[in-house]
Amino acid sequence: MTNESPSHANAALVFGGSRGIGAAIARRLARDGHPVALTYASRADKAAEVVAAIEAEGGTALALQADSADAGALASAVASATARLGPPGIAVVNAGLYQGSPLDAFPLDMLDRLLAVNVRGVFLSIQAAAARMVDGGRIITIGSNTAVRSGVVGSSVYAMTKAAVATLVRELALDLAPRRITINNIQPGPIETDITAGFLEQLVERNPLRRVGTPGEVAALAAHLASAEAGYMTGASLTMDGGFSI
């Protein structure tokens, strides 16, 4: 196909769509008319909840198990989604992992896991999705404002992986441009999810806007990047963090 932009008939893939930001994006894209396939690593129950919510709103969705560090599982998930929903016009790579430790105590297995999921897994997800994507499609990664600055001891490797994602997106824009596929990176700051639930008050105090973001706000930006109106933007990293990293 040679579409210049993804139509409502085109399927959307959301890698890491069972909770938080990924779940919000999956639901938003479904509301915008796209059948959605979402992957999950281990929480089949949460993935099923997202599918049920989408179907309750009249949308089409399916959940597929795939660890982002497993190249075979990712390729299989994309193949299954394509067989059931058609070639993807949108792919959102949200799967990621946060772990932190000061330098002198940083375990090697933690380093390897962060690189495997946050860098290798992102590349593999993009590669698998692009191979089956319609021309004129949209790829969106969910990075982190820590790629700009974290200011937190122990987050160096996590920040490094997110900076790698920003660089990957910028350079892959050249690879994908001949097919009119755009690729852009959203870099959220503190977002109200189950991960931040225990220290929201501290995050609010550090944020110039004196609040944290919501998954719905990230989903709204993702929906814009997935739309025809964003067809001239590619290779960009967009930080949305209330001024947290300024």
Return the active site residues. 144, 158, 162
What's the half-sphere exposure (Cβ side, CA atoms, 13 Å) at 167? 10
Q: Alpha carbon 1 to chain centroid distance?
A: 25
3-state secondary structure of 150: coil
Cβ neighbors of 57 (< 8 A, separation 6 or more) are 27, 30, 31
- Picking from 32, 4, 33, 29, the residue whose alpha carbon sits closest to that of residue 15 is 29
- Cβ neighbours around 154 below 10 Å, total: 14
CA angle 237, 243, 244 (to 5 degrees): 90
Token pair for residue 146? Answer: 């820590």
The residue type of 152 is V
